[in-house]
Amino acid sequence: MTSRLSAGETFLVHGGSSGIGTFAIQIAKVRGVKVFVTAGSEEKLAVCKELGADVCINYKTEDFVARVKEETGGKGVDVILDCMGAAYFQRNLDSLNFDGRLHIIGLMGGAVTEFNLGSLFAKRLTVQATGLRMRSPENKAEIVNEVEKNVWPAVVAGKVKLLVYKQFPLSEAAEAHRLMESSQHIGKILLIP
């Protein structure tokens, strides 16, 4: 992983019950990482806990920056996996430890924001945005190889499970999108061609 997340470190996953989040929690636990999650309901947080999350934060009722600080003795977490973008940008920087790494994979909370560059200097922070779409086929193939080598063994061993909330035939794609927009789901929504 480009975040260099390693055993003994702390990791905050926003949207812990999402398709991405449920996978990230489990793979981080396999690697000996302490996992923090945010989600918007107690039901979703309970699933995250079952998957191995150590610290579960309801972002609707709690300030995640304060809770992260409280749980880490004021230090902050080492790595954040973020799908909120602008809405969480400054608060994410405030939640990171020295040499912390913020990885942005989604912009659900917008793409434009203003922030204090000083917080990057003060804690030597790294901000990276990553995605699959803009990569060359060769680069995508490299990623698939790395996943096969480093992630797949944990799936085969049953240590990482894929949570599928519901499957739809491709002809019902609009229905699948409505479900995703409602955010009732926990884990993946599959479209079957």
Query: In the complex with ligand NAP, which residue's Cβ is closer, 32 or 142?
Result: 142
Place of tokens 């926990």: 186
Q: Does residue 20 touch ligand NAP according to CB under 6 A?
A: yes
- How far lies 92's CA from each of 88, 127, 143, 171, in Å? 6, 10, 27, 39
Question: Residues binding ligand NAP: what is the number (CB under 6 A)?
Answer: 22
CA angle, 145 as apex, 162 and 99 as ends, to 5°? Answer: 80
Query: In the complex with ligand NAP, which residue's Cβ is closer, 124 or 130?
Result: 130
Tell me which residues in 125-164 interact with ligand NAP (CB under 6 A). 130-132
Q: Does residue 40 touch ligand NAP according to CB under 6 A?
A: yes
**Where is 98: in which H helix or E strand?**
strand 96-104
Euclidean distance between the first and the last CA atom of the chain, given in angstroms as a whole number: 30
- DSSP for residue 95: T
Q: How far is the CB of 180 from ligand NAP (least distance, A)?
A: 5
Tell me which residues in 66-95 interact with ligand NAP (CB under 6 A). 83-84
Residues that bind ligand NAP (CB under 6 A): 14-15, 17-20, 38-41, 44, 59, 83-84, 105-106, 108, 130-132, 180, 183
